[in-house]
Structure 1
Amino acid sequence: MTQDTSQDSLAAALQTPDRRFVPQTAIVLGSVALIATAGVWLYQQQAMEQFKLEVSRQLAANKNSTAEFSQQLASSAKLQEQFSAKLALLDAKQAESLSQQQALNNMYEALTHNETHRALSEIEQILGFASQQLQLGGNVNGALLALANIDQKLAQLNRPELISLRQSITRDIDTLKALPYVDIIGISAKLDSLIKGLEDLPLAIDGYRQAAPAVKASASTTPLANFSDEIWQQLKQLIQIRRMDKPEAMLLSPEQSFFLRENIKLRLLDARTSLLLKDEASYRGDIAAALRYLEQYFDKKAPQTATSIATLKQLAAQDLAIQLPELGTSLAAVRSARTIAERAKQ
């Protein structure tokens, strides 16, 4: 029985199997799916290749860019090194220039302080002299000229510490310009003219000394008559009766007349000195004395005497009562500035 079974199995295995029916639609769909899958795979492969090519190109471009950037970076580093070297050189030159400039500034300051000190010493001397001339001689114009020169010197110095001094000088200039004008030179010239013309003034006694009139001989008279007329005229000259309001003028001898004129000259000279010293009381006293002498002892009817008397009256009316300012403020300012300059120099 076992043998029979084995023979049946072998016969069954050697037999051709029966063919089964496969639907046609399934085969088509499977083929389409297979083809689509293959197409997708091919597209992916092509896309992958293009992506690889693009990545390769990008990598190559990046590599070139990196090389160029590295080259530019190296060039920039070299330029930076050169710039750093030049900057260091410029810093060294700038430091040297600053050192030289500081040295020049120190020299300039030293020279400026020395110049300022010399200028202040000169200004102090000029101010002192101008103040003396102003107080002793009343020379306002000279003081103004001196102050103007000082102001010009201060403008040339142009130092900030001298501003207060210049302001003080300006105030003194304005004060002097505001003073009323007194023609000292003109008055002195008139006094000198009176002194020089004093010798030509006739005395009052000279007006009474008249020459005897000449006796004219008449052709119709006899020589005896002419002689008698001449004798009569001589007798009339011996005795003359005239009225004099000031008989003391007739008592002057020639020597007294000389001393009178010299006394008047001294009075006029004293008046000129008092004028320069601004001594109004002495000036008016001397002018009044000279005027009194002229009116008392000289011939007032003479043109020269009348002119001299009129001039003296005009000079007597001259107002000299002018309070001259002092330059003490400016002197104090210049001395203070000089002290500051000396301290700065040390």
Structure 2
Amino acid sequence: MDQPSNDHAPPLQLHQLIDRWRRPVVLPAWGTWLLMAGASIALLLAYSQWKRLNHIQEQLATQSAVTQTQAIEARTLAQQAQELAQDAAARAKLSEVRINEYTLQRSHLEQLAFELSRNHDEAMLVDIEASLRLAQQQAQLTGLADPLIAALRNASQRFDRLDQPRLLPVHAAIERDLARLTSTAVTDTAGLLGRIDSLLLQLEQLPLSNAVGTPSNRATASPEVTPATAAGDTAASDAAAGATESAASTASGDGAVPVHPGWMHRIWSSMRGGVSDLVRVQRIDHPDAALLTVEQAFFLRENLRLQLMNARMGLLARQTASARADLATVQALLLKYYDTGAPRTRHALQTLRQLQEHIQAVETPAITDTLAAIAAVHASRQPAFAAPAGASISDGDTTAEPEAEDLNGPQSRAPALVPWPEPGQALYRPMTWVEAG
């Protein structure tokens, strides 16, 4: 039967196709061997690939185990590194806190040391100023520059031992005042007051010009005649008279005419002295002096005493013109009413002239440059460290501390100052951070 062409062949039935596929195919002999050889080659290749794959699996397993071990070790190391980093961060923060604490404590100690040094300098300045003012008061009372010179020299020696540049102006002012005072002449007020007091004591012993008694020209010795001197003179005259009488008695024992020149001389001297006391002729330049009564003489002495007291008070009050005028008045009264020929009067007049010459219009010693320099140093004293406006202390200390520089960032934070621990306590304590401002 002729098979139809492909274009017009009807489609095969399903069972025909199945039968065709089930129908055994007869292969030739070489085909069988070829198939067996191919199968053998395929088995060899499959075995080779299996062994290779098995070796690769073993290597992968080994590498996976090693990688897993390394990963575990890396994880452990990473955890340890993280812990170390956290520990280092904690230590860094603690170190930063301690550095801030040390900075605050150092600034506080520097401030205390500076304040202590300034307080020591201020105390020394106050002490020197007090001593200088006291010496100035003593100089004003006595009129002498010796207390001021001694105080200035003491202050200069103290400044020589002190090395403070800011006190150099005070030292220079002290040296200037010291040089000025040592070259300035001042009145010896104490010596002048002593001489005025001696004149006050001699007023009762000065003889008036109308006094009745031994003429003043007989007294040629010093004005001060003490009872001991008078007794010595009397004893000497008695001894001379005794010697004359003994010589006369010796001469009479030898057969001569007995004479007594000492006895006769004493009688003649007493008679002549009595007659001279009854009548005395002297020159009186001021007629008023001869008319002074006893009461007027008393008031004259009291007036002289008051004039001398006024001169003394004027000398103490630095009123030199008034003191010299009072002394001139006393001198005029002595020349008018007192016996100028008496040694005591001459001595008093000489003392008055010397007092008027020595009282000079000398300016009161002053140390204005030194006091002005000390006042300038006191005025220029400023605190070395200014406390910040917003700083506060959480430990209860009301004193504002200087603000430390924040090392962590731009935030302005200052740790509270930890007080110094007592013996047996820990050196470091937890610190409280307080936001400033």
TM-score by length of 1: 0.57
User: Kindly tell me: are residues 242 and 328 of structure 1, through their superposed partners in 2, closer, same or farther at Cα, counting changes over 3 Å?
Assistant: closer
The alignment status of 1:257 with 2:297, answered yes or no, reads yes
SS of structure 1 residue aligned to 2:306: helix
SS of structure 2 residue aligned to 1:317: helix
The alignment status of 1:113 with 2:153, answered yes or no, reads no
The alignment status of 1:169 with 2:189, answered yes or no, reads no
User: Kindly tell me: are residues 323 and 159 of structure 1, through their superposed partners in 2, closer, same or farther at Cα, counting changes over 3 Å?
Assistant: same
Q: Is the 8 A contact 2:324 2:359 kept in 1?
A: no
Measured in 2, the distance between the counterparts of 1:258 and 1:157 equals 64
Letter in 1 for 2:380: I
Match of 1:144 in 2: 149
State how 1:331-346 maps to structure 2 within 5 Å. 331-341=371-381, 343-344=383-384
Letter in 1 for 2:175: T
Letter in 1 for 2:334: L
1:270-329 alpha-carbon deviations (Å, 9 max, x no partner) = 222322333221121011011111111111111111111111112122251323453222
Measured in 2, the distance between the counterparts of 1:345 and 1:207 equals 89
Which residue of 120, 128, 132 maps to 2:133?
128
Note the C-alpha offset of 1:173.
Answer: 0.4
Measured in 1, the distance between the counterparts of 2:280 and 2:343 equals 26
Q: Is the 8 A contact 1:124 1:331 kept in 2?
A: yes
Note the C-alpha offset of 1:247.
Answer: 1.9
Which residue of 315, 318, 323 maps to 1:283?
323
Segment of structure 1 superposing worse, 285-294 or 265-274: 265-274
Measured in 2, the distance between the counterparts of 1:281 and 1:258 equals 28
Measured in 2, the distance between the counterparts of 1:142 and 1:345 equals 40
State how 1:1-346 maps to structure 2 within 5 Å. 105-135=110-140, 137-207=142-212, 244-324=284-364, 326-341=366-381, 343-344=383-384
User: Kindly tell me: are residues 334 and 252 of structure 1, through their superposed partners in 2, closer, same or farther at Cα, counting changes over 3 Å?
Assistant: same
Note the C-alpha offset of 1:159.
Answer: 1.7
SS of structure 1 residue aligned to 2:284: coil
Measured in 2, the distance between the counterparts of 1:330 and 1:165 equals 6
SS of structure 1 residue aligned to 2:202: helix
Q: Is the 8 A contact 1:116 1:157 kept in 2?
A: no
Equivalences, count: 231
Q: Mark the runs of 5 or more structure 1 residues left unpaired by the alignment.
A: 1-94, 211-229
Letter in 1 for 2:331: L
User: Kindly tell me: are residues 277 and 344 of structure 1, through their superposed partners in 2, closer, same or farther at Cα, counting changes over 3 Å?
Assistant: farther
Measured in 2, the distance between the counterparts of 1:197 and 1:342 equals 63
Note the C-alpha offset of 1:138.
Answer: 2.6
Letter in 1 for 2:358: Q
1:149-201 alpha-carbon deviations (Å, 9 max, x no partner) = 22233334432110001100110000000112533222222111111111111
1:49-98 alpha-carbon deviations (Å, 9 max, x no partner) = xxxxxxxxxxxxxxxxxxxxxxxxxxxxxxxxxxxxxxxxxxxxxx9999
Between the two structures, name the one with larger relative contact order (CA 8 Å, sep ≥ 6).
Answer: 1
RMSD: 3.4
Measured in 1, the distance between the counterparts of 2:384 and 2:210 equals 78
SS of structure 2 residue aligned to 1:170: helix
Measured in 2, the distance between the counterparts of 1:159 and 1:152 equals 14
* Structure 1 segments of 4+ aligned residues over 6 angstroms from their partners: 95-103, 239-242
TM-score by length of 2: 0.46
Measured in 1, the distance between the counterparts of 2:384 and 2:334 equals 66
Match of 1:216 in 2: none
Letter in 1 for 2:349: I
1:97-123 alpha-carbon deviations (Å, 9 max, x no partner) = 999887654433222111222222233
Letter in 1 for 2:177: D
SS of structure 1 residue aligned to 2:372: helix
Greater percentage in helix: 1
Aligned-pair identity (%) = 34
